[in-house]
Structure 1
Amino acid sequence: MPQVQTVRGPVDTAELGPTLMHEHVFVLTADVQQNYPDEWGSEDDRVADAVQKLRELAATGVRTIVDPTVIGLGRYVPRIQRIAEQVDLNIVVATGCYTYDDVPFFFHHRGPALNAAVGAEVPDPMVDMFVGDIEDGIAGTGVRAAFLKCAIDQQGMTAGVERVMRAVAKAHRATGVPITVHTHPGSHTGLQVQEVLGDEGVDPGRVVLGHSGDTTDVDHLSQLADAGFVLGMDRFGINLETTFEARADTVVEMCRRGHAERMVLSQDASCYIDWLAPGVMDLLPQWHYTHIHDDVLPYLREHGVTEEQITTMLVDNPRRYFENVGTY
């Protein structure tokens, strides 16, 4: 039976069960948290709050969350291990780098940045770092990343974004683990992802195009689904520039068009995100871990989405995403 790495170790893919494919435990600005610890407060209280929220999620029947927290989002696996020990939930973690523009300064004068100076192609150290997280484990914890994460947003395919994306593709080809890409569907960045990852020889079926549900352009989404990508309808509850109904109706229409096998569901929620000032969360009352089961699934059922299609999006597609692991 194929297996997938989780924070508590490998599990059979058949045991993943209902899976939310894009949820964070914490999203943090590491430098701020390290230097201004009063913002974070009590570590024990933060952990206890996370445990409570994840137990509430597990009570809905969800068995697995896939957490794409990587460099740039404050990944700290020892804390996640402590939480995972206390919840009956699989937590799958990632490796990669999150940027909309430039690479982190650490990489500015390493790898390909030195090509011109040395007159030869210098390997990108990101590739070995990502591969190490997958094959050896993260920072001595023994926890192995099960997928790769990168991002492209409204800024488009900047040099830094492309460098990270190609490093992710190379690590994917070396290890066989799948990829999730944060995208900005309003500016059709999925087509740019298709070009770069295609150039690197990546099968679109191994790639989730995250945040695809931020658009209601079902013709564009159908184009990406027909190309073989998995579409992350994964920001349910973030309804500042859209509505609950718009997000849900997009899934309904995509299912009507026969694309349930190309979609996964999630909320992009977290126990705590330090990007938001106190009070901002009050503007997003549906942005929490149980919104899909409390509100989204009943709406989908009422509007013609079948139980088989819901199982496909929540169980079968996540399982297939992690099962097709092999080296190139």
Structure 2
Amino acid sequence: MSEVSTVRGPVAAAALGRTYMHEHIFTLTADVQQNYPGEWGDEQARLDDAVEKLSALAAQGVQTIVDPTVVGLGRYIPRIAKIAERVPQLNIVVATGIYTYDSAPFFFEYRPPMPGQPDPMTEMFVRDITEGIAGTGVRAGMLKCAIDHHGMTPGVERVMRAVAQAHLRTGIPVTVHTHPGSRAGLEVKRVLCDEEGVDPRRVVLGHSGDTPDCDHLAELAEAGFVLGMDRFGINLETTFEARADTLVEMCRRGYAESMVLSQDASCYIDWVDPLLLEQLPQWHYLHIGDDVLPYVRERGVTEKQIETMLVDVPRRVLEPSEPAGA
């Protein structure tokens, strides 16, 4: 079985263990943090806090997390590497890609793809995967792009196609931030899979659990996608019960082999006012273990299904596939 790139180096896919497929460590607005760092506070205190929270997660039995923090979300690998060294019991898989709901970053505005040449974005993504990120030697083990209710804007489409090309060249899987309320997954299918040729079995449709529409989720699962039931604890526009009951129903319908679980939590996120965070008391790394799994067990989800969603499917997704034409 092949190996998966993590912050501390390659790990056999069979050794990944219980895996959360969408957990950030720090979610930051990089320009704001660089120019107005007051809220961030002391760097060492932030690192210590992250080590404490991730150590508690590892103590709960989680062995691997995927951190899909890319350009647009404040990725800074040297900081993550320091944390990884202090939490050796937890594998951290990092990602490459660009996070936007609308335009591509201005950096690429006058660096368009030239006829017959790969997009400069693709080259950057491939380099992160094959050589390492920003001279750290840490290789990305996941590709990331996004589409929200704004739809398939030109910028979103360009990033998505660049991610597709990087996937085909490297075999690294793809995770996509989606907006299931507007059925964005169908647009992902059209561009990423139907037109660019990415196997949907190599694609996680993030935030699928934001909708209770199990018929729509079943449609995506039947198309081959992996559904990210990955926002447990974010209960502003929904409830804990609605998220958990959707998971229960999808398991009842036989789709445990098409789902992965997470909380989309962070040790620190500057996107959300601290007062609003107080309204989200379950939004943390331990929520699935403490609250979600006991709830769904009581409603018929089996230990085998839990093992499938937390171990088997993540292992299958994260294990690199053969690059196209290899």
TM-score by length of 2: 0.97
Q: Identify the residue that residue 16 of structure 1 maps to in structure 2.
A: 16
- The residue that corresponds to 2:121 in the other structure is 126
For residue 155 of structure 1, give the secondary structure of its aligned residue in structure 2.
coil
Cross-structure match for 1:102: 103
Instruction: After TM superposition, give the deviation of residue 122 of structure 1 in Å.
Output: 5.2
Unaligned runs of 5+ residues in structure 2 are: none
Name the structure 1 match of 2:243. Answer: 247
The one-character-per-residue Cα deviations of 1:64-105 (angstroms, maximum 9, x if unpaired) are 010000000000000000000111200000000000000000
Establish whether residue 177 from structure 1 lines up as the match of residue 172 from structure 2: yes
Name segments (4+ residues, structure 1) moved above 2 Å. 120-123
Paired AA for residue 252 in structure 1? V
Secondary structure of the 1:264 match is strand
Give the residue type in structure 2 aligned to 1:96: G
* Alignment match, 1:150: 145
Output the CA distance in 2 between the equivalents of 1:315 and 1:170. Answer: 28
> Structure 1 residue 324: deviation in Å?
4.5
**Does the aligned pair in 2 maintain the 1:111–1:122 contact within 8 Å?**
no
Per the alignment, residue 265 of structure 2 pairs with 269
Give 1:39 shift.
2.3
Q: Distance in 1 between matches of 2:27 and 2:292?
A: 24
The counterpart of 2:157, out of the listed 159, 162, 185, is 162
Gaps of 5+ in 1: none
Q: Aligned-pair distance for 1:33?
A: 0.8
Which of 103-112 and 72-81 deviates more? 103-112
Q: Name the residue aligned to 1:202.
A: 198
Match of 1:307 in 2: 303
Instruction: Please list the CA deviations of residues 253-277 of structure 1 after superposition, one character each: whole Å capped at 9, or x if unmatched.
Output: 0011110000000000000000112
1:280 alignment partner in structure 2: 276
State the SS of the aligned residue for 1:190: helix
What code does the residue aligned with 1:75 have?
R
Cα distance in 2 for residues equivalent to 1:324 and 1:29: 30
**2:33 aligned with 1:33:** yes
For residues 304 and 107 of structure 2, the distance between their equivalents in structure 1, rounded to whole angstroms, comes to: 47
Give the drift of 1:121. 5.3
**Partner SS, residue 39 of structure 1:** coil
CA shift digits 1:190-242 (9 cap, x unpaired): 00000001210000000000000000000000000000000000000000000
**What's the CA shift string for 1:271-316, capped at 9, x where partnerless?**
0000112221100000000000000000110000000000000000
SS at match of 2:289: helix
SS class of match (1:318): helix
* DSSP 3-state at the match of 2:315: helix
CA distance in 1, matches of 2:4, 2:179: 28
Q: Which residue of 2 is the match for residue 80 of structure 1? A: 80
Q: How many percent of aligned residue pairs carry the same amino acid?
A: 72
CA distance in 1, matches of 2:139, 2:116: 29
Give the total of aligned pairs: 322
Residue 319 (1) aligns with residue 320 (2)? no
